[in-house]
Structure 1
Amino acid sequence: MLEIKNLSKKYAEQTIFKNLNLTIADGEVLTIVGPSGIGKTTFLRIVAGLLAADTGEMQLNGQDLDLSGERTGADVGVIFQDFNLFPQFTVKENITLAPIMVNKAAKNDANDLADQLIDQLGLADQSNQYPFQLSGGQKQRVAIARALAMKPGILAYDEPTSGLDEESTDRVIGVIQQLKSQGVTQLIVTHDLQFAQAIADKTFDFGTDVER
């Protein structure tokens, strides 16, 4: 369970949000919706530990998470809008790199987990391909597999269907629903209301539900 209490963030004199409270239950899919530029990605970056909050608390499964913007570890796995895959590495290498380099996993164990995730996400035919050879939907699934390889407590997505065609969007919906059935907790920032309705257990509207 992710619990956020009294989270606040401002830039100079502009308050992005204040006293934000939110709870995401284990295995739940929560969508964060609202128009562009309203602070959704700022919020996601704070949850991911990439940006400092001004005030507030955040706990994942009862453990405090650092809100200084300098968090280490992979408690929150993030799938970025532009995927951030390493172009010089194959799909499988992209997935195994962080477990080996950051978590110090044995290479055989990292490869075994990568093979499981590749199979689970329908990427077997792309395992030895490079990012430039992949479609947008395939890159999205590789990014999800890479995040899952770090065994996070929660997955967070930034606009996961941005730039995807209808078929790729449907495939991403299927992956999110599949992960939900496996008990994976997921937080998804999106401006696509139709997509949000297709996947969400709960929806949090950053345009109306946030104090500023």
Structure 2
Amino acid sequence: MLKIENLSKSYGNRTIFKNLNLTLPAGEVLAIVGPSGIGKTTFLKIVAGLLPADEGQMILDDQPLDLSGHRKDARVGVIFQDFNLFPQYSVLKNVTLAPQTVKHLRPQTAQALGEQLLSGLGLAAQMHQYPFQLSGGQKQRVAIARALAMQPGMLAYDEPTSGLDAESTQRVIDVILQLKEQGTTQLVVTHDLPFAKAIADRTLDFGNEVERG
């Protein structure tokens, strides 16, 4: 479970959000919606540990999350809009690299985990291909597998259907719902309202429901 209490963030005189309180129960999917520039991605980056918060606290599975913007752990797995795959590495190596270098898994253990995750996401045939050989939807699923390989407490997605066609979007929907069935807690930032409706247990409209001071 993710619990956020009195979270605030400003840039200079501009308040992005103030005293934000939110609880995301374990295994649920929360969609964060609202127009561009309203602060959705800023919020996601704070949850992911990539930006500092000004005030407040976040607790994931009864343990506080560092809000300095320099979080070292991988307790929140992030799937970025542009995937951020390493072009020089195969799909399998993209998934297994961090578990070996950060979590110090043995190569054979990391490979077995990577193969299991990729197969579960319908990418068994693409394991030894490179990112340039993949469709947008396949890249998105590789990014999800890479995040899951770090065995995070939750997943956070930044506009996961941006630039995807209808078929690839449906595959991402299927994957998110599949992970939900497995008990994975997920937070999704999106401007795509039909997508949000298809995946989310709850939707937070960042444009209307968040205090800005």
The TM-score with structure 2 as length reference comes to 0.99
Partner Cα separation in structure 1 for residue 96 and residue 78 of structure 2: 16
3-state DSSP of counterpart to 1:191: coil
Query: Which residue matches 1:182?
Result: 182
Q: Deviations over 1:122-154 (max 9, x none)?
A: 001110010011000000000000000000000
Q: Is residue 121 of structure 1 aligned with residue 121 of structure 2?
A: yes
Query: Which residue matches 2:13?
Result: 13
1:41 deviates by: 0.2
Query: Which residue matches 2:51?
Result: 51
Partner Cα separation in structure 2 for residue 129 and residue 36 of structure 1: 34
Partner Cα separation in structure 1 for residue 70 and residue 200 of structure 2: 30
Query: Which residue matches 2:105?
Result: 105
Partner Cα separation in structure 2 for residue 38 and residue 2 of structure 1: 22
Q: Deviations over 1:159-212 (max 9, x none)?
A: 000000000000000000000000000000000000000000011110001000
3-state DSSP of counterpart to 2:57: strand
1:111-150 pair list within 5 angstroms: 111-150=111-150
Partner Cα separation in structure 1 for residue 136 and residue 122 of structure 2: 14
Q: 4+ residue stretches of structure 1 with deviation over 6 A?
A: none
Query: Which residue matches 1:82?
Result: 82
Q: Deviations over 1:97-126 (max 9, x none)?
A: 000000001111100000100110000111
1:158 deviates by: 0.2
Unaligned runs of 5+ in 1: none
3-state DSSP of counterpart to 1:19: strand
1:157 deviates by: 0.1
Q: Residue type matched to 2:26 in 1?
A: D
Partner Cα separation in structure 2 for residue 8 and residue 196 of structure 1: 25
Q: Deviations over 1:29-82 (max 9, x none)?
A: 000000011000000000000000000000001101100001111000000000
Query: Which residue matches 1:34?
Result: 34
Query: Which residue matches 1:209?
Result: 209
Query: Which residue matches 2:197?
Result: 197
Partner Cα separation in structure 2 for residue 118 and residue 95 of structure 1: 8
Partner Cα separation in structure 1 for residue 37 and residue 15 of structure 2: 13
Percent identity, aligned pairs only, is: 71
Query: Which residue matches 1:172?
Result: 172
Q: Residue type matched to 1:117 in 2?
A: L
Q: Residue type matched to 2:190 in 1?
A: T
Partner Cα separation in structure 2 for residue 62 and residue 119 of structure 1: 32
Unaligned runs of 5+ in 2: none
Q: Residue type matched to 1:181 in 2?
A: E
1:8 deviates by: 0.3
Task: State the aligned residue count.
Answer: 212
